[in-house]
Structure 1
Amino acid sequence: MVQVYKKTHSYPEPPATSLLAFFLRYPNPFARHVLSVDVLDRTVDPVTGRIHTTRLILKRGILPKWATRWLPSSATSGGSGLDAWIYEESIVDPPGWGKGRKDLGAEGEDFGKQPRLRMQQGNLNHRKAMHVIEGGDLRAGPNGQVPSLSTTLHHTTAEVRSYLGGTWSSLIRKRIESYGLGKFEGNSETSRKGMSLILQLLRYRHPLPETAEFEFFPPPPPGFSESWTDMPEAASWQEPKEGSPKSFFLSPANLRAWARKRRED
C-alpha cells in the first residue's frame, strides 16, 4: 500500500528570497542527515526564462537498519551503508509566469507575477526496499484573502513505496512504508526549520551559531539593509574576533576544520 504525505506551510518572505533560500539551505544545523549536495546541471531557457537545475544529494539513513537483512550486499555500495543518493530536478519560473493563464483566475494571475519553483526528487538506490518520491511547489501565497507579495507558500507532497517480495512480503512492505512516512514527516519539519534559519541569514546577514565569529558568505545583494544586527535574535550574536577571517564558506569540510581547530585551542 502506497503511503502518501501532503502538507503546506508558509514563510513570511517574498518568493524571490524563499527560492534563493531553497538552493542555499544546505548545510544547516537542522539537516545533519544531508552529507553532500552537487549541482550536476543548470541551464536557463532563452525563450521562457526558466531556470532548470539538476542536483545530486547524499542523505544518511533512508532505510531502517533492520531492513538490511532483505537487501543484497551490493545494495549498500552507494554512500555508506544505508545512505541514499537523491536525484533532484527543479524549475524556476520567472516573474510573470502566470500572465495570460485564464485557468488561474484573477487571484492566480497576481500570484503569477512572482517567481515560482517546482521540484521533484527521488532516491536512486535502495528503490526496491523503499522508493520515496517528493514534490515541492514554492509560490507567492495569500495573506488572509488578499494575495501577498511578502509571503511564500510551500506545498510538499510525497509517496513512499516498497517493492520487496517474497514470503510475508505484504507485512514487510507495510512496515517499511510506515517507517518511511514517519521518517519523511520528521525530516519535513526539520527542513522547514532549516529554511527558516537560512531566510533569517539572508534577511539579517546573521551567521550560523557554530560560526558566529565568521561573516556569512555569500554576502547579500546590493542595497540589502545593513541594520541586520537589530534583529531580536542578535542578542546571541558575538562580535567577530580580531584577526578572524573576513568570510567563511559554510561547507561541511570548513565546519569540521573550524571545530577541530577550536578543540585544539
Structure 2
Amino acid sequence: MVKFHKSVYTHNYDFNTFSIAYFLRYPNPFATHVISVDTLDRHVDEQGRLHTRRLVIKRGKLPNWCRALLSSSNINISESMIVETSIIDPKRQIIQSETKNVDFTKIMRVIETATYTGGVDANNNPIVKAKTSVSFLSSFGFASMKDRMETWGQRKMGENLSRSQKGMSFVMDRLREHSGKIKSFQLAMQQALAQDIPLYES
C-alpha cells in the first residue's frame, strides 16, 4: 500500500534568488549526505521554460532492522542514485520538479513532486510558496514488512524536508550576501562546509 507525505512551506525570498539557489543548493551544511550532482541534459523550450535533468548521488540510510536483513542477503546500500527533473518557467514564476530513486526500488520507491510559485505576501514582500507530495512504495518482504518500511520512509521525510528548507535558506542567504556573484558564493559555501560549528539556528 502506497503511503504519502504532503507539505506546504513559504520561503521569504524572491523567485529569481530561489531559482538560482535551486541549482546551487548542493552542497550545503544541511545536505552533507549528497556526494555529487551531475547535469544529464538541459534545454530551453519554445515557451522559454528551462528543462533540466540531473543525477544526484546520495549516501544511503536505512533503519537498523532493515540493514540487518539486507546484510544477510549480501545487499549493501551505501549510496543511492536519484534522478531530478525540473522545469522553470520564469514568466509565470513557477518551478515544477520531480525526484525519484533509480536503484533499490524494490526496497523502497520514493517519488517526490514539488511546485514552487513566486509571488508576494500581504505586505507585498517577495515569497516563494512550496508544495510537495512524496509517495513511498515498498516491495520488500511480506506485507507487514512493506508497511513498516513505508511508514519509516513517511516519518523520516518530515525531518528531511525540514533540513532541505534550512539548506535552501542557507544557500539563498549566501547568494544575497555576495550579490549573486557565483565565484564568491562558491568560496563562501566551501568555507561554511569546512566549519564544525552550527551554521543555522533551528
Aligned residues: 193
SS in 1 for 2:140: coil
Q: CA deviation at 1:93?
A: 1.1
Matches within 5 A, 1:237-252: 248=187, 250=189
Taking every aligned residue pair, what percent have the same amino acid on both sides? 34
Q: CA deviation at 1:61?
A: 2.2
Q: Is the 8 A contact 2:88 2:96 kept in 1?
A: yes
Q: 2: distance between equivalents of 1:23 and 1:48?
A: 21
Show the counterpart of 2:79: 83
Moved over 4 A (4+): 249-252
Q: 2: distance between equivalents of 1:127 and 1:142?
A: 39
Q: 2: distance between equivalents of 1:141 and 1:5?
A: 25
The answer to whether structure 1 residue 199 and structure 2 residue 172 are counterparts is yes
- Relative to its length, the structure with more strand (as a share) is 2
- Report the residue type matching 1:177 in the other structure: E
In angstroms, what is the RMSD of aligned CA positions? Answer: 2.7
Show the counterpart of 2:18: 18
Q: CA deviation at 1:219?
A: 4.5
Q: 1:156 aligns with which of 112, 132, 155?
A: 132
Show the counterpart of 1:58: 57
- Report the residue type matching 1:199 in the other structure: M
Q: 2: distance between equivalents of 1:135 and 1:171?
A: 27
Per chain length, whose mean CA-contact separation is higher, i.e. which structure has more relative contact order (CA < 8 Å, sep 6+)? Answer: 2
122-131 or 57-66, larger mean C-alpha shift: 57-66
Give the greater-gyration-radius structure (CA). Answer: 1
Q: 2:118 aligns with which of 95, 120, 140?
A: 140
Show the counterpart of 1:92: 88
Show the counterpart of 2:183: 218
Show the counterpart of 2:28: 28
Q: Is the 8 A contact 1:10 1:141 kept in 2?
A: no
Show the counterpart of 2:103: 125
CA offset digits 1:194-245 (Å, max 9, x no partner): 0001111111129xxxxxxxxx84347xxxxxxxxxxxxxxxxxxxxxxxxx
Long gaps (5+) in structure 2:
197-202
- Report the residue type matching 1:159 in the other structure: S
Q: 2: distance between equivalents of 1:129 and 1:14?
A: 39
Evaluate the alpha carbon distance shift between residue 192 and residue 185 of structure 1 in structure 2; reply closer, same or farther with a 3 A threshold. same
Q: 1: distance between equivalents of 2:146 and 2:33?
A: 24
Q: CA deviation at 1:143?
A: 1.3
Q: 2: distance between equivalents of 1:142 and 1:205?
A: 23
Q: Is the 8 A contact 1:63 1:130 kept in 2?
A: no
Q: CA deviation at 1:248?
A: 3.0
Q: 2: distance between equivalents of 1:197 and 1:150?
A: 17
- Report the residue type matching 2:3 in the other structure: Q
Q: Is the 8 A contact 1:63 1:82 kept in 2?
A: no
Q: CA deviation at 1:251?
A: 6.1
Q: 1: distance between equivalents of 2:40 and 2:52?
A: 8
- Report the residue type matching 1:116 in the other structure: I
Q: CA deviation at 1:70?
A: 4.4
The answer to whether structure 1 residue 173 and structure 2 residue 172 are counterparts is no
Q: 2: distance between equivalents of 1:16 and 1:87?
A: 24
Q: 2: distance between equivalents of 1:199 and 1:91?
A: 20
CA offset digits 1:175-203 (Å, max 9, x no partner): 11111112211110000000001111111
Evaluate the alpha carbon distance shift between residue 123 and residue 184 of structure 1 in structure 2; reply closer, same or farther with a 3 A threshold. same
Q: CA deviation at 1:14?
A: 1.3
Q: 1: distance between equivalents of 2:111 and 2:59?
A: 16
Long gaps (5+) in structure 1:
96-111, 207-215, 221-246, 260-265
Q: 2: distance between equivalents of 1:36 and 1:150?
A: 31
Q: CA deviation at 1:142?
A: 4.7
SS in 1 for 2:172: helix
